[in-house]
C-alpha cells in the first residue's frame, strides 16, 4: 500500500492487485480515494491517470458522508490489539508505522488531526492494523469452529470489504472483512459459523437457516439483531 497526497484531491491510496487487468479509481463514501493497480511499477502511470481524472474525483468526493470523529490522541479503542499514538513534527508530511501493539502516527504541527483529510488517512492505517489482527486471529478460530461442528473448507482469507462481514465461494474458500475484528467474539463466531454453513448450503434457504440455528443455538435471532447495530467503518 502506497499513500500520496495531492493538492485539492487529498490523500490517495495505491493498492497493488496483480489479478487486476487495468487501473481503477474508487472514491469511497467517506470521500477517500483508492487506486487499484496491477503492478508496483505502474504507480507513476497510475499517478498521471489520477491527475487527469482530478475533476471527476473532486466531483465525486465533494459531499462524502463523513464518519464520526473517532481518532485522536485520547482514542482508547483504536483496534482490539493496537492503540493509537500521535507524534507531531516540523516536516509537512504525514506517515504511520504499525509496531507490535501500537500504531504510531506522525503528523505535521501544521495539520489539524481532527480534519477530514487526516481522519481519512488514520482510517486507512486502522484498516491495515485490523487486517493484521484478522490474519492473526481468524484462521485459527475458523479451524477450531470447523472442527467442533464437523465442517470442511479449503482456505481462509482476509479482505478490506465494507459491504459484508464474510463470504464463502463455490469452492468453499472463506473470506472475511478485516472489520469483523471490531465485533465481540461471540458475533465473530456467529459470522464464521454462518459462512461455514455455506460450505454445505450455498443459498439462504430453509435448510441453510435450519443448519445455522442448529450450530449457534437459540441465540440466533438475538445475535442477528445485535449484529445489525454494528456498522463497518
Nearest-angstrom CA–CA distance, 6 and 179: 28
Strands 33-37 and 10-16, how do they pair? parallel
Angle at CA of residue 144, ends 177 and 225, nearest 5°: 50
| Residue 222 confidence (pLDDT) | 93
Give the three-class secondary structure for 3. Answer: strand
| Residue 73 confidence (pLDDT) | 66
Q: Please list the pLDDT of the chain residue by residue as tens digits (233 residues).
A: 788 888 888 888 889 898 888 999 988 766 678 899 998 888 889 999 999 998 888 887 765 444 555 677 667 678 999 999 999 988 878 899 999 889 999 988 887 887 877 888 888 999 999 999 999 999 999 999 999 999 999 999 999 988 899 999 999 999 999 999 999 999 999 999 999 999 999 999 999 999 999 999 989 999 999 999 998 76
User: What distance lies between CA 116 and its chain's CA centroid?
Assistant: 18
| Residue 64 confidence (pLDDT) | 46
Nearest-angstrom CA–CA distance, 111 and 121: 12
Specify whether the CB–CB gap between 25 and 50 falls below 8 A.
Answer: yes
Nearest-angstrom CA–CA distance, 215 and 229: 22
Residue 56: phi, psi to the nearest 5?
Answer: -65, -40
Q: What CATH class does 130-227 carry?
A: alpha beta
User: What distance lies between CA 233 and its chain's CA centroid?
Assistant: 8
| Residue 198 confidence (pLDDT) | 96
Specify whether the CB–CB gap between 81 and 131 falls below 8 A.
Answer: no
Specify whether the CB–CB gap between 223 and 190 falls below 8 A.
Answer: yes
- For CATH 3.30.2010.10, list the domain ranges present in the chain: 130-227
Task: Fill in the DSSP letter of residue 76.
Answer: S
| Residue 91 confidence (pLDDT) | 81
Specify whether the CB–CB gap between 12 and 6 falls below 8 A.
Answer: yes
Nearest to 48 by CA among 35, 59, 61, 62: 35
Residue with cell 491495515: 128
Q: Looking at the DSSP assignment, which residues form a beta bridge with residue 102?
A: 83, 99
| Cβ partners under 8 Å of residue 189, min gap 6 | 141, 145
Other C-beta atoms closer than 10 Å to the C-beta of 94 total: 20
| Residue 30 confidence (pLDDT) | 60
Q: What is the 3-state secondary structure (H, E, C) of 98-125?
A: EECCEEEEEEECCCCCCCHHHHHHHHHH
Amino acid at each position: 500500500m502506497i499513500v500520496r497526497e495531492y493538492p485539492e484531491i487529498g490523500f490517495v491510496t495505491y493498492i497493488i492487485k496483480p489479478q487486476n487487468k487495468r487501473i481503477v479509481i474508487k472514491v469511497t463514501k467517506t470521500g477517500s480515494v483508492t487506486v487499484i493497480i496491477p503492478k508496483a511499477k505502474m504507480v507513476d502511470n497510475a499517478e498521471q491517470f489520477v491527475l487527469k481524472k482530478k475533476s471527476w474525483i473532486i466531483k465525486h468526493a465533494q459531499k462524502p458522508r463523513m464518519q464520526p470523529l473517532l481518532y485522536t490522541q485520547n482514542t482508547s479503542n483504536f483496534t482490539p490489539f493496537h492503540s493509537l499514538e500521535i507524534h507531531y513534527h516540523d516536516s509537512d508530511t504525514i506517515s504511520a508505522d504499525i509496531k507490535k501493539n501500537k500504531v504510531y502516527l506522525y503528523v505535521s504541527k501544521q495539520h489539524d488531526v481532527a480534519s477530514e483529510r487526516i481522519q481519512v488517512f488514520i482510517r486507512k492505517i486502522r484498516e491495515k492494523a485490523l487486517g493484521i489482527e484478522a490474519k492473526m486471529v481468524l484462521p485459527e478460530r475458523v479451524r477450531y469452529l470447523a472442527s467442533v461442528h464437523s465442517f470442511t473448507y479449503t482456505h481462509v482469507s482476509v479482505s478490506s470489504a465494507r459491504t459484508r462481514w464474510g463470504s464463502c465461494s463455490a469452492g468453499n474458500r472463506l473470506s472475511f472483512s478485516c472489520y469483523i475484528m471490531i465485533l465481540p467474539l461471540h458475533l465473530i463466531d456467529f459470522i464464521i459459523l454462518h459462512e461455514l454453513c455455506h460450505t454445505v448450503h450455498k443459498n439462504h434457504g430453509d435448510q441453510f437457516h435450519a443448519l445455522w440455528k442448529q450450530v449457534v443455538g437459540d441465540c440466533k435471532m438475538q445475535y442477528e439483531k445485535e449484529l445489525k447495530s454494528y456498522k463497518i467503518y
